[in-house]
Amino acid sequence: MVSSISNALQKGEQILKSAGIKNYKIEAREILENLLKMSFEEIFIQKDMFLKKQIKELFFKGIYRRKIGEPIQYITKISHFYSRVLHISKGVLIPRPETEILVEKVLEVFAKKKDISCLDMCSGSGCIGVSLMLENSNFKQVVFVDKSKKAIECCRKNLQTYNLLSKSNLILSTFFTKIPDRKFDLICCNPPYVSKNQYLSLENTVKLYEPKNALVSDNGGYSHIKKIAKESTNYLKKDAKIFFEVGIGQAKQAKEILFNLGYSDLVTYNDLNNIERIVAGKWKN
């Protein structure tokens, strides 16, 4: 059956609404916009235009994927972060609004520093390092490190999109095993920090679709934080900074981990829900 844009959208919205999708209108539109490579305004103007059979089939395939719980970002291959569009692919953690707080605080702390070198550990899509370079041209080089090939390739696409490859280095590495011997002004990290018990209570949209190894850490969720904080001491300049995103209730112990390793000037920053979400420290040795 032939469908116009408006008819297809209405049907898609109805399917998502019946499935309990909160933002059913917005998400149906996003799926179609992505397929047609058109803006909302263009779709509205051409709402009576008939869809090609292939586009219609792909649209309802996307609607079905969303209906059964797949995140919209994996369907459209688009994620929004720090007011920008980033490429996202299956097998790569979807950027969260909480991580924007890390970017915001790093930018504040490094606002007056020149020629900044940065290591983005557990970089995933590259959302942190990409945003830092786009917001502050004094970030002269960012090294992106992840153990996932999918994450590294996703990050590469985002760097290409924003013409940042010349200022970047992508390294496929488990922690620091393949990192050259050099020192940085900043190491930032959104590591896996969900405990195994916490993982069991996460929403199915997370457990069924997002990469578990980008979420879960041993030792109650602290294993990655401990290892990265310890190994970072070999890669930080004197007075350099380290920034971690941490889970709910983890800030106090994360600060203790940093303190016991010799970091000083320890601070925490709250997210929009007033939860201590970012822990930062200075390396003086």
The mean pLDDT value for 104-126 works out to 97
Say if residues 269 and 277 touch (Cβ distance below 8 Å): yes
* pLDDT tens for each residue of 136-170: 999 999 999 999 999 999 999 999 999 999 999 99
* pLDDT tens for each residue of 222-251: 999 999 999 999 999 999 999 999 999 999
- Asked if the model's pLDDT at residue 193 lies above 90, the reply is yes
In what helix (H) or strand (E) does residue 189 lie, and over which residues does it extend? strand 184-189
Domain membership of residue 77 (yes or no) is no
Domain membership of residue 80 (yes or no) is no
- Do 171 and 233 lie in one domain? The reply is yes
- Asked if the model's pLDDT at residue 42 lies above 90, the reply is no
Domain membership of residue 154 (yes or no) is yes
Domain membership of residue 78 (yes or no) is no
Report angle CA 121, 198, 24 to the nearest 5 degrees: 85
- Do 125 and 57 lie in one domain? The reply is no
Q: What share of the chain is helix, strand, coil (3-state, %, to 5)?
A: 45, 20, 35
Report the interhelical angle of 127-135 vs 97-109 (nearest 10°): 40
Domain membership of residue 225 (yes or no) is yes
Tell me the C-alpha distance between 194 and 122, whole Å: 14
For the chain, how many structural domains are there in total? 2
- Do 47 and 162 lie in one domain? The reply is no
The mean pLDDT value for 35-39 works out to 89
Domain membership of residue 84 (yes or no) is no
- Do 100 and 150 lie in one domain? The reply is yes
* pLDDT tens for each residue of 123-134: 999 999 999 999
Asked which of 13, 34, 68 is the last residue of a domain, the reply is 68
Confidence of residue 1 (pLDDT cuts 50, 70, 90): low
- Do 49 and 164 lie in one domain? The reply is no
- Do 128 and 256 lie in one domain? The reply is yes
- Do 98 and 61 lie in one domain? The reply is no
CB under 8 Å to 250, separation ≥6 — which residues? 193, 221, 222, 225
The DSSP annotation for 41-102 comes to HHHHHTTTSBPPHHHHHHHHHHHHHHHTT--HHHHHTEEEETTEEEE--TTSPPP-HHHHHH
In this prediction, residue 237 carries a pLDDT of 96
CATH classification at residue 205: 3.40.50.150
Asked which of 68, 83, 108 is the last residue of a domain, the reply is 68
- The encoded tokens of residue 211 equal 């990469």
CA separation (Å) from 95 to 2, 88, 252? Answer: 37, 9, 24
The mean pLDDT value for 207-228 works out to 97
The mean pLDDT value for 197-211 works out to 95
In this prediction, residue 49 carries a pLDDT of 85
Is the whole model's pTM more than 0.85, yes or no?
yes
Domain membership of residue 79 (yes or no) is no
Domain that holds residue 159: 92-283
Mean pLDDT estimate for the chain: 95
